Chains A and B, each alone.
Chain A
Amino acid sequence: MQLKIQSYRRLYAGSLIVVIGLAGVFLASDLRFGTMASMGPGFLPTVCGWLIAALGIVVLAMMFRDDVEIVDPPVARPVIMIFLSVGLFALLIEHAGLGLTVFLTAFVASYAGRARFVETLLLAFGTAVATTVLFVVILGLPLRIWPELS
């Protein structure tokens, strides 16, 4: 019998699972394991990690007998722009104030799809005003509205 990879989905999923399980085992290796009667902080994380890794190998083994299955490749533009906009929000929110942060986040996020410049500008501006009114004025969240000067 010849082993041929049928399901690339199982190959990638299984590998990811094994890596996660082993990472758990590795990170728990410094922690005291203990005994059944008095489990240390590392007992269950280690057991859980090995179990995940073992089941990951089972998933890997399934790649030979499954139907042919491939993974759709990611589309670069939405992935990059969405993560960029969320990252931008995280970087700016502490100092730039809610208004500017929301404006830039919404503007960048729009380009994950088919954005039109003027429309996007208006949308980002509208979102900035609306969220500031809703969250700071009405709901009273303790957020800075304007950028920190100096």
Chain B
Amino acid sequence: MDSILFGFVQILTYDNVLWCLIGALVGTLIGVLPGLGPLATMAILLPMTFSLPPLGALVMLAGVYYGSQYGGSTTAILVNLPGESSSVVTCIDGHEMTKQGRAGEALFVAATGSFAAGCIATLVIAVAAPAIGQFAQQFASPEYAALLIFGLIAAVVIASGSAIEAFVVVLIGVLLGFVGTDVNSGVDRFTLGQMELLDGLQFVPLALGFFGIPEIISNLETPEHRHVITPKVGSIWPRWPQIRPAITPVLRGTGLGSVLGFLPGGGALLSAFVSYSVEKRIARDPGRFGHGAVEGVAGPEAANNAGAQTSFIPLLTLGIPSNPVMAVMMGAMILHGIQPGPQVISRQPDLFWGLVASMWLGNLMLLVINLPLIGIWVKLLTVPYRLLFPVIVVISCIGIYSVNNSAFDVFTAMIFGALGYTFFKLKLQPAPLLLGFIVGPLLEENLRRALVVSRGDPTVFFDRPISGTLMVGAIVLLLVLLLPSIRRVRDVALKE
């Protein structure tokens, strides 16, 4: 408890509150606007945080992530547009409620449900993270290698679409991670003679190449058909009988989200989907779902917010990003000279607890600013895309260029944009690629170190209890992927 208070002392300075507010607002903005996700936005903002102190930078980027969850749900409910991918589920019942004139109720439930989930998830992080960090202190290279392998495979199992393709895409990410000077031998690999590649590929051009450019082009390929009719919001202060059925779904969603966010490959999107199917399954009358069931808004909204926050745990305690958004956070930490890992909590408690406290503060701000600002957010939707995307292109270019003041990086982004666009056309999901790219170098380092110590004996990964458990877990997951019957269950579960 003292630690949390310590965190609030860190965060309640004029500057940090300001960064938190800016992050939350920018996040809401991009959550409202389709065509720019939190991942690309965080990648663009990354270079601009150079001049900030590390805590301010991380607080702002985190704010973008959970702010986008709020913004995405607002447009999902009001105009049936998921501004952000994890809000797809909210569209189903949320927009139905709007059609029935209950938009105010839906928005209230979504906002307060998210806030409640955010509060609980913050507590979960405060309690669980130090314990996990403590546990991870005893990890050596075999444990880390096993954990990374387990994490990558789990991410593949959870990813939507073809599992084998997701696995290949992870490996392509790992392959791209090899570019640059090999730390052990000093030999340069895959640099094609380019001086600029000696330090490895830059994360920002890669992320914007795979997520920014294809997204813009695909939006332009399908012509604009957005006719926003400003809906009647109704009272945003619903009565108790309308709120009561939402309470248990919020709590269930929070629980689900807290657990799923923690898993590798988890986070907001998965949590929202699972919560919706759980609510539907245990409802006394599943027929109401899809026709404005308040549980269908409350559960997923709470789950996505809780999942968004607990996905910080593996990053802050183990130094392992569980999803691409966390990979961007990790990139930000490294750029600011912080090596994510178990030592962060003990060596930089101000940073850790400050970030945790900022999540609670940010959620409170979102609750307070969001409900009154709904009218403005809806107005923003009437800005046509033809005026938006050139601005997005320009800001992306400036973002890429300003990381190293290097035009080479902008050309790199073009090349990966072409590859990313090909991936998009071939329906290969690019998210696992970023995960592989970030995790690959860590995996190689630990794998090689573990094998040097064991003199090339691969049983080192199985002899030790922790790494052995993780390796067996990874193998079980792989088998699960290969067995067709279980694969069908997974497909059904992910489809719902």
- A joins B in a complex: yes
3 nearest CB pairs, A to B: A37-B456, A36-B456, A90-B410
Interface: B12 (CB within 8 A)? no
The answer on a CB contact under 8 Å between B444 and A44 is yes
Instruction: Name A16-54 residues within 8 Å CB distance of B.
Output: 16-17, 20, 24, 27-28, 31-32, 35-42, 44-45, 48-49, 51-52
Q: Which residues of A contact B476 (CB under 8 A)?
A: none
- Tell me, in angstroms, the Cα distance from A30 to B247 when the chains sit together: 62
Query: Is B405 in contact with chain A by the CB < 8 A criterion?
Result: yes
Closest to A66 in B: B162
CB distance from A99 to the nearest CB of B (A): 11
**In the complex, A110→B392 CA distance in Å?**
11
A135 x B398 contact (CB < 8 A): yes
User: Once bound together, how far apart are the Cα atoms of A49 and B14, in whole Å?
Assistant: 51
User: Of B171, B185, B393, which is within 8 A of A105 by CB?
Assistant: B393
Instruction: Tell whether B464 is near chain A: CB-to-CB under 8 Å.
Output: no
A22 to chain B, nearest CB (A): 11
Known contacts A27-B189, A90-B407, then 15 further A-B pairs from the complex at CB < 8 Å, ordered by chain A residue? A12-B426, A37-B451, A41-B184, A45-B175, A52-B171, A56-B168, A71-B425, A82-B217, A82-B220, A82-B417, A112-B216, A119-B387, A123-B387, A123-B390, A141-B48
Cross-interface CB contact of B168 among A27, A55, A93, A135, cutoff 8 Å: A55
Q: Chain A's nearest CB lies how many Å from the CB of B255?
A: 36
**A80 to B165, alpha carbons, bound, how many Å?**
28
Within 8 A of A (CB), among B373-397: 385-387, 389-391, 393-395, 397
A residues within 8 A CB of B162? 59
Tell me the count of chain B residues lying within 8 A, CB to CB, of chain A.
62
Task: Find B411's partner among A27, A79, A87 (CB 8 Å cutoff).
Answer: A87
CB nearest neighbor in B for A75: B221
B164 close to A59 (CB less than 8 A) = yes
| Nearest-neighbor residue (CB-CB) of A91 within chain B | B407
With A75-B221, A93-B410 as known contacts, state yes or no: A85 contacts B174, CB within 8 Å. no
Q: Give the nearest-CB partner of B191 in chain A.
A: A27
Q: Is A41 in contact with B164, judged by CB distance below 8 angstroms?
A: no
- Residues on A with beta carbons closer than 8 Å to the beta carbon of B221: 74-75, 78
Known contacts A86-B213, A94-B407; A48 and B391 CB within 8 A of each other: no
Check if A143 is an interface residue, CB within 8 A of chain B. yes
**From residue B212, how far is it (CB to closest CB) to chain A in Å?**
10
Residues from chain A with Cβ under 8 Å of B189 in the complex: 27-28, 31, 41-42, 45
Q: Which residues of chain B are within 8 angstroms of A115 by Cβ–Cβ distance?
A: 386
- Least Cβ distance of A108 to chain B in Å? 9
Nearest-Cβ distance from residue A1 to partner chain B, whole angstroms: 19
